[in-house]
Amino acid sequence: MANPQPTAPHGPERRELILRAAVREGLLDPEEARLAAFLDLDAVAATVDSLHRAFPGPVEVLHAFAAKANCLVPVLERLRTLGMGCEVASPGEFAQALAAGFEPARIVFDSPAKTRRELARALDLGVAVNVDNWQELARIDELLTTRRTRSRFGVRVNPQIGAGAIGAMSTATATSKFGITPAEDGNTGRLVAAFRDRPWLGWLHCHVGSQGCPPDLMAEGVAATVALARTINAELGRRQVVGLDIGGGLPVNFADDRVTPDYPDYVQRLRAHAPDLLTGEFRLVTEFGRSVLAKNGFTAAYVEYTKTSGGRAIAITSAGVQVATRTVFAPEAWPLRVTAHDPTGAAKHGEPVEQDVAGPACFAGDLVAEARPLPLLEPGDLVALLDTGAYYTSTPFSYNSLLEPAVYGAAVAADGAVCFETLRRAQTVEELLDRTGG
């Protein structure tokens, strides 16, 4: 498969090229395939390359993709071939990472609720573990009395530097459920003692949050973690903290096609707030997810019906809460761009008309866009939900037992030909019945 580096990986012309090819090949069909998602594999490769280049030598970095952002095994496998590791936060993501072929040493296990069985498996395989709390640390002490492991261990800390614009996505607040708070309850001293008593502890981990957390806030959390690492090493009189997992969370611009902030922007913020981070003193792990894939994917659905209510036009489509859960339930925090297309996939033109783009679920709030100015949609037209390469269709919500749509990878050859590969088959009614005990 040809994989040229796209000159404009997120542009409307490229999306339309993929969309029209999908219609021609029957991946979208008004009767058989009314909803599908697409991931631009060339653009993914370009994004991962930009991530690698943003973190220059001499620092040793493992970029571990946050599997929660897109847990489809073929997607994880593609990211592995592009040189990424994998961060997992559940038994399911753990299994998906292994199925995608990641070596255990390139998997990072971060769940805040790890069971003894899950921890034992991670230790037996040699997966990196970030310890969330004192009780988990005691549990690992117990497990290590009966086994040897190649796992490396870090402690997650909460620098308590505040929240971003979306409270639910902010993990460094005063009362966050994640990590140990060095500034409270004598925890800095306890951490020094914990590292002194456990020579196998060698890393610190922090993650300030995700969408809505500005890069400066993220970098401040990293800087606090660097300072803590140096305090521990100074108190111990030896270089025991050798690595820092600085998390991910780079926000995505959902307003237009620009990639802002980008990875070089973030590295500049890291240099400003933690100038010694990239000197090579510490090994690094990152855990980017949404920023790797979001802008490289879109979701397309046919318009089934149109109507007018209260003077407003409404287009009812096959894309709603089952594939855009956050947007439907929290539209102010998670707005999506929507584009209008004719039945061939070509961009639709015409005077913009304010209209709601509604999904198929049986509740009034199932809207992916409200009062959105678009060329007037008609039955048989297509809508595209942009910037949905992360989360969205890869982790569907099974409200109303709506079926999971197919997800396709797309690559564009130099002559403009589009080649598709199936990343997830569309769920069948028979599979749904089997899953629900039918």
In a domain, 1, yes or no: no
- Among residues 292, 319, 352, the one where a domain terminates is 292
pLDDT at 1 > cutoff 90: no
Q: What is the pLDDT of residues 316-333, one digit of tens each?
A: 999 999 999 999 999 999
In a domain, 6, yes or no: no
- How much is the pLDDT for 10? 63
Mean pLDDT of 137-158: 97
Q: What is the pLDDT of residues 69-110, one digit of tens each?
A: 999 999 999 999 999 999 999 999 999 999 999 999 999 999
Q: What is the pLDDT of residues 4-44, one digit of tens each?
A: 343 445 689 999 999 999 999 999 999 999 999 999 999 99
- How much is the pLDDT for 9? 57
Residues 364 and 403 in one domain: yes
- How much is the pLDDT for 276? 87
Residues 285 and 308 in one domain: no
Q: What is the pLDDT of residues 167-197, one digit of tens each?
A: 988 898 989 999 999 999 899 999 999 999 9
On average, the pLDDT of the chain sits at: 95
- Among residues 249, 271, 292, the one where a domain terminates is 292
Between CA 337 and CA 97 the distance in angstroms is 31
Angle between helix 73-81 and helix 41-54 axes, rounded to 10 deg: 50
Residues 125 and 253 in one domain: yes
In a domain, 5, yes or no: no
Q: How many CB atoms lie within 10 A of CB 165?
A: 14
Mean pLDDT of 221-235: 97
Residues 325 and 283 in one domain: no
Specify whether the backbone of 220 is left (phi greater than 0), alpha (psi in -120 to 50) or beta: alpha
Residues 220 and 335 in one domain: no
CA distances from 219 to 47, 119, 207, 224, 269 (A): 21, 30, 10, 9, 6
Residues 268 and 330 in one domain: no
Enumerate helices (H) and strands (E) in the chain, giving the number of each.
12, 17
Q: What is the pLDDT of residues 249-284, one digit of tens each?
A: 999 999 999 999 999 999 999 999 999 899 999 999
What CATH number does residue 395 fall under? Answer: 2.40.37.10
pLDDT at 2 > cutoff 50: no
Query: The pTM is what?
Result: 0.95
- How much is the pLDDT for 289? 98
- pLDDT-derived band at 57, boundaries 50, 70, 90: confident
* Tokens found for residue 169: 């996505």
What CATH number does residue 58 fall under? Answer: 3.20.20.10
- pLDDT-derived band at 3, boundaries 50, 70, 90: very low
Asked if 71 and 290 count as a contact pair (C-beta separation under 8 A), the reply is: no
- Among residues 240, 270, 292, the one where a domain terminates is 292
Residues 36 and 47 in one domain: no
Range(s) of the domain holding residue 102: 42-292
In a domain, 4, yes or no: no
Residues 274 and 298 in one domain: no
Q: What is the pLDDT of residues 347-403, one digit of tens each?
A: 999 999 999 999 999 999 999 999 999 999 999 999 999 999 999 999 999 999 999
Residues 207 and 338 in one domain: no
In a domain, 7, yes or no: no
Residues 245 and 336 in one domain: no
In a domain, 2, yes or no: no
Residues 193 and 233 in one domain: yes
In a domain, 378, yes or no: yes
In a domain, 210, yes or no: yes
Name the one residue in this structure whose structure tokens are 């400003």: 272
Beta strands in 292-364 (DSSP E): 297-309, 312-317, 338-341, 352-358
Name the domain count of the chain.
2
Backbone angles phi, psi at 261, to 5 degrees: -70, 160
Between CA 312 and CA 433 the distance in angstroms is 38
Residues 206 and 90 in one domain: yes
